[in-house]
Amino acid sequence: MKTARKYKICVVGAGHVGLVAAACFSKLGHKVVCVDNDRNKIQMLKEMSMPFHEPGLEALVKRGLKRENLNFLFSLTEGIRSSEVIFIAVGTPPKKDGSADLSSVENVAYTAAKNLNSYKLVVGKSTVPVQTGKRIQEIIENNKDNGLKFDVASNPEFLREGKAIYDFFYPDRIVLGVESKKAENILKGIYSLVKAPFVVTDINTAELIKHASNSFLATKISFINAVSRVCDLAGADIEKVSKAMGMDRRIGSAFLQAGIGYGGFCFPKDIEAFAYISKKLGYEFGLLREVRNINQGQVVYFLRKIKGKLGSLKNKRAAVLGLSFKPGTDDMRFAPAVKIVEALSQEGVNLSLYDPKSMGKSKKVLKGIKRVKFFKSPYAAVAGADCVCFLTEWDEFRKLDLRKIKKIMKHPFIADGRNMLDKKKVLAAGFEYFGIGR
Ligand SMILES: NC(=O)c1ccc[n+]([C@@H]2O[C@H](COP(=O)([O-])OP(=O)(O)OC[C@H]3O[C@@H](n4cnc5c(N)ncnc54)[C@H](O)[C@@H]3O)[C@@H](O)[C@H]2O)c1
């Protein structure tokens, strides 16, 4: 893949978004430097070692490093000075009050102002509340030391972890929030080889599109989870409800799977940040609070169901299969599994944990939690257990030998937090089983 015009791009933040964008921009033929203030991460990347699991990413990074159109730097100053376009892809974590912590974004804007050695286009790729672009503009305008021109733009990212490379090259749309024709043309040039429709808007609108999209997806999940609770009470089957609802093209089948709720770095924080900024602007977005409440309630509900089946939890053994917040990634940020493991441990349950990809990260995140042991295979984890909880819908779990599991468990009881197993088969194999809403 080669673009007609190659741009010198600096991507700030070598995380799930920044590193993917940097590697993909280099595949498109641009000259890319990826900067991060985490020295270890930069060192790892220079040595071609990946800081997180993302299918296909390693090959792209290696390719870029070998062809020398992808480089990793610790120095933000150097990255900015050597580039024409700066993509800000740093974290925007939640503050205690739910608002987005924009200090990293603002820091990059300030450094860009102080290193404006030529025209620069500064593009927000991180998920930020509406009006952040304006703030970036102000910071650069108020801190630059010369009369050189710059533009600010917003290009929110919609990739899914685990499918990030595919999503970069085949997105449903590319949103460009711009305030000048020059900025629009540069961004269209950068993405010229990606076959996707551009949605060109002003910066505020582009920023809002991202918050609205994530909030809507989270709303779909909480909606179906609320329906699943009614299904459980009424004796109906949420799987069939979801399927039939999803077949209606006005609704669509995506994000209609009931379970223990959403997690990850995006939905929980983006819902809070969107509610916060809406309120600040004068609108109380109560629906989003309820989306969050329903989501948090799913974990509580799942735990209550386990207790209902097992009775006293003290000294029972539970195997937990799946820890990352979703399959295809080792990301443990806001993973529902963390809350479930913590709660079961507090009740005196001994826990045997297994995940195909996130064992390294899980050990760090769950450090200090009592009665927790990690196992190298799902079978080793379930041996001797009173209950096995499926918390992430990894494909490999669907292929497990149920007969073997039944033989090695103390009690054949499955708590399916993702409705991922074939209920009929599980019951036929002689297990006690519960899912969510089925
Ligand atoms: N993870 C996703 O699936 C996803 C999808 C779309 C959008 N987003 C958004 O993209 C942004 C980044 O998310 P992420 O998942 O890549 O986060 P991440 O934590 O994986 O990566 C952020 C990186 O930025 C670096 N960083 C922070 N401050 C810095 C600074 N001042 N200078 C240089 N580097 C700095 C951190 O060291 C880290 O490596 C967030 O706003 C997020 O909401 C994430």
- Structural domain contains residue 356: yes
The answer to whether the CB of 36 is under 6 A from ligand 1 is: yes
Cα–Cα distance measured from residue 384 to residue 403, given in angstroms and rounded to the nearest whole number: 14
Whether residue 308 is predicted with pLDDT greater than 70 in this model: the reply is yes
Report helix, strand or coil for 271.
helix
Structure confidence at residue 101 (pLDDT): 98
From edge to edge, which strands make up the β-sheet containing 387-390? Answer: 372-374, 350-354, 317-321, 387-390, 413-416, 432-434
Residue 398: CB atoms within 10 A of its CB come to 11
Give the largest Cα separation in the chain, rounded. 76
| H or E element in which residue 228 lies | helix 203-234
83 pocket-lining for ligand 1 (C-beta < 6 Å): no
Q: What is the rounded (10 degree) CA torsion for 207, 212, 214, 218?
A: 160
What number is the average pLDDT over the span 240-266?
97
107 C-alpha to ligand 1 centroid (Å): 14
CATH number at residue 394: 3.40.50.720
Which residue shows structure tokens 């497990």?
A: 400
- State if residue 38 touches ligand 1 by the CB under 6 angstroms criterion: yes
Q: Given 201, 228, 258, which residue is the final one in a domain?
A: 201
**38 is a domain residue:** yes
196 and 264 fall within a common domain: no
pLDDT higher than threshold 80 for residue 328: yes
Report which of 344, 353, 340 is spatially closest to residue 312, judged by C-alpha positions: 344
Residues 426 and 301 in one domain: yes
Best of 10, 53, 157 to mutate for ligand 1, by most ligand atoms within 8 A of CB?
157
Report if residue 211 sits inside a domain. Answer: no
Residue 266 CB–ligand 1 contact under 6 Å: yes
Give yes or no: residues 52 and 156 share one domain. yes
**Cα-to-centroid distance, 235 and ligand 1 (Å):** 43
Q: Which residue range(s) make up the domain with 307? A: 247-434
The pLDDT value given to residue 156: 98
261 and 159 co-located in one domain = no
What is the chain's Cα-based Rg? 23
Q: Which domain-ending residue is among 146, 166, 201?
A: 201
Question: Is the CB of 92 within 6 Å of ligand 1?
Answer: yes
Question: Cα(110)–Cα(104) distance, rounded to whole angstroms?
Answer: 10
Cβ–Cβ < 8 Å for 219, 287: yes
**Is the pLDDT confidence value at 179 over 60?**
yes
Q: Quick check: is 425 in a domain?
A: yes
pLDDT above 60 (res 367): yes
Q: Same structural domain for residues 24 and 108?
A: yes
Examine the domain organization and report whether 182 and 285 are in the same domain: no
Q: What gap in Å lies between CA 388 and CA 397, rounded to an integer? A: 12
pLDDT above 90: residue 4: no
* Domain-embedded: residue 2: no
What end-to-end distance do the CA atoms of the chain give, in Å? 47
The pLDDT assigned to 143 comes to 98
The total domain count for the chain is: 2
The pLDDT of residue 1 is 53
Question: C-alpha angle 301/303/306, rounded to 5°?
Answer: 110
Q: What is the pLDDT of residue 226?
A: 98
Cβ 17 under 6 angstroms from ligand 1? yes
| Best residue among 90, 128, 136 to mutate for probing ligand 1, ranked by most atoms within 8 Å of CB | 90
Atom of ligand 1 nearest to the CA of 161: 3
Same-domain check for residues 188 and 323 = no
Let me know whether 254 and 146 are in one domain: no
Q: Is residue 230 part of a domain?
A: no
CB within 8 Å of 286: residues ≥ 6 apart: none
User: Rounded to two decimals, what is the model's pTM?
Assistant: 0.96
User: For residue 298, what are its two tokens?
Assistant: 């799913």
Distance from C-alpha of 350 to C-alpha of 316, rounded to nearest angstrom: 6
Take residue 160 and report the two structure tokens written for it: 């899914």
Q: Is residue 117 within 8 Å of 144, Cβ to Cβ?
A: no
Q: Which of 20, 34, 36 to mutate to test the pocket of ligand 1 (most atoms within 8 A of CB)?
A: 36
Measure the CA–CA gap between 105 and 108, rounded to whole angstroms.
5
| CA separation for the pair 322, 354 (Å, rounded) | 6
Is pLDDT at 76 greater than 80 in this prediction? Answer: yes
Residue 239 lies in a domain: no
pLDDT in tens, 112-154: 999 999 999 999 999 999 999 999 999 999 999 999 999 999 9
258 and 158 housed in the same domain: no
Q: Are 413 and 384 in contact (CB under 8 A)?
A: no
- Which residue minimizes the CA distance to atom 11 of ligand 1? 126
Ligand 1: does its nearest atom lie under 6 Å from the Cβ of 140?
A: no
pLDDT tens profile 195-246? 999 999 999 999 999 999 999 999 999 999 999 999 999 999 999 999 999 9
Q: Which pLDDT score is estimated for 244? A: 98
User: 274 and 413 share a domain?
Assistant: yes
**Is 2's pLDDT higher than 60?**
no
Asked whether residue 224 is assigned to any structural domain, the reply reads no
Q: Is 298 left (phi over 0), alpha (psi -120 to 50) or beta?
A: alpha
- Per residue in 372-431, pLDDT (tens digit) is 999 999 999 999 999 999 999 999 999 999 999 999 999 999 999 999 999 999 999 999
Are 28 and 166 members of one domain?
A: yes
Question: Residue 19 CA: which ligand 1 atom is closest?
Answer: 16
